[in-house]
Amino acid sequence: MAATNLGRKPEPATSAYRAPGAIVPGATEPAQSGPEHVEAPVRYDAILLAGFGGPEGQDDVIPFLRNVTRGRGIPDERLEEVAVHYRHFGGVSPINEHNRELKAALEAELARRGVDLPVIWGNRNWAPYMNDAVQEAGDRGFTNLIAVATSAYSSYSSCRQYREDFADALEDTGLSGVVRIDKVRQFFDHPGFVQPFVEGVRDALASLSAEHAGLNPTTDVEVLFATHSIPTTDAAKSGPVERGFGEGGAYAAQHLAVAQVVMREAGADGVPWQLVYQSRSGPPTQPWLEPDVNDAIAELPAAGRKAVVIVPLGFVSDHMEVMWDLDEEAIATAAEHGLAAVRVPTPGVHPAYVAGLVDLVLERVDGMPADERPHATDLGPWYDVCRPGCCENVRLGFKPALAGIAP
């Protein structure tokens, strides 16, 4: 069966192929039985770099947003309210260019280490789509892929939905049972991801102290770790439910754990900080994780703060949510309340981050034992194979997904 949907977002898969006796769909043999950590070497043919995707011109904006919101029945008039953020930047999201840069950086790091693994890039919501990437892999004779999603944390949108994308792409291309896709563990606490934020917080506090005489970081500055808000029902289902992370699930727990590490490693133990959320998009009647970053900023003067450091902890690069919601709206809110503000850089193509992603791939190539894998918090190292029922979308239920124990 040849792919008929290339160049467009594929339809949701109706099923996901499982090898005889396997409990993990579409997996390589060492992962098929569902171990928490795959400690047997796997010979991969290529790396699948999985991105969110974004428009690259004004004409792309509404079609892109239709892809993002597919199945939710949102009319174009409502989408245009969000489109204004993209139109402010000429209809171009920075995310595709950042993924091109990341792909090139990964290829350079792999070459530097003498690792012969091509990198194929596919997106969820814009070209090149995930089915384009999987078809390319099939055409090149690659049957074992190791996926690196550009998202570090556990939740439906940041993990399981990528796993659904893989199932969608395999069914669309007719390569189910031919191409197998594993996925590296969620890397929220891998030192390569954490280090850029440590440097960013350290530099931000130093710059504020240098520019504002007499500023005392332990009383005058607050660090806000910002991440994308999600519905509280989805947050509660993030990660393995049996681990009992509480109301915010693994999603909130992971962010809080990493923020603690960043503050400690940045030498900022005494500086006040909190986890805040941004980019809420649901109806007002639906509870989402709070507080909103702008609400948190508005309350800082009453606590005696004179400056704020904004850390985009939930993002790997300068997505539209960083450029608009933080660089435009949050910085404006800080100015309205008389606060000096600094936004910390995202990892982007920081050498530690790029090297860390290659390390994550090589963990699976080499079958590295779990007790040898680097992790900066007590929550890690996270699972190679997602546990059953992990990161359920309560509204949509379970759809076919790879790289985890069914459902």
Digit-coded pLDDT (tens) for 308-365:
999 999 999 998 999 999 999 999 999 999 999 999 999 999 999 999 999 999 999 9
Q: Is the pLDDT of residue 203 over 80?
A: yes
Tell me which H or E stretch contains 226: strand 221-228
Predicted local distance difference test score (pLDDT) of residue 1 = 43
Q: Is the pLDDT of residue 64 over 70?
A: yes
Q: From CA 134, how far away is CA 177, in angstroms rounded?
A: 13
Yes or no: say if 62 and 76 are a contact pair by the CB < 8 Å rule. Answer: yes
Q: From CA 223, how far away is CA 205, in angstroms rounded?
A: 9
150: its two tokens: 């550009």
Please report the domains of the chain, with CATH numbers, ordered by start residue: 29-54+93-186+350-372 (3.40.50.1400), 191-343 (3.40.50.1400)
Predicted local distance difference test score (pLDDT) of residue 71 = 82
Q: From CA 342, how far away is CA 209, in angstroms rounded?
A: 12
Helix runs in 69-114, H state only: 76-88, 95-113
Q: From CA 218, how far away is CA 270, in angstroms rounded?
A: 5
Yes or no: say if 57 and 86 are a contact pair by the CB < 8 Å rule. Answer: no
Measure the CA dihedral 207/199/319/147, to 10°. 180
Amino acid identity at 366 = D
pLDDT in tens, 394-406: 888 999 999 999 9
Q: What is the total residue count of the chain?
A: 407
From the list 209, 226, 218, the residue with the least C-alpha distance to 268 is: 218
pLDDT in tens, 231-244: 999 999 999 988 88
Q: Is the pLDDT of residue 115 over 60?
A: yes
From the list 184, 187, 147, the residue with the least C-alpha distance to 375 is: 187
Q: What is the CA radius of gyration of the chain?
A: 21
Predicted local distance difference test score (pLDDT) of residue 241 = 83
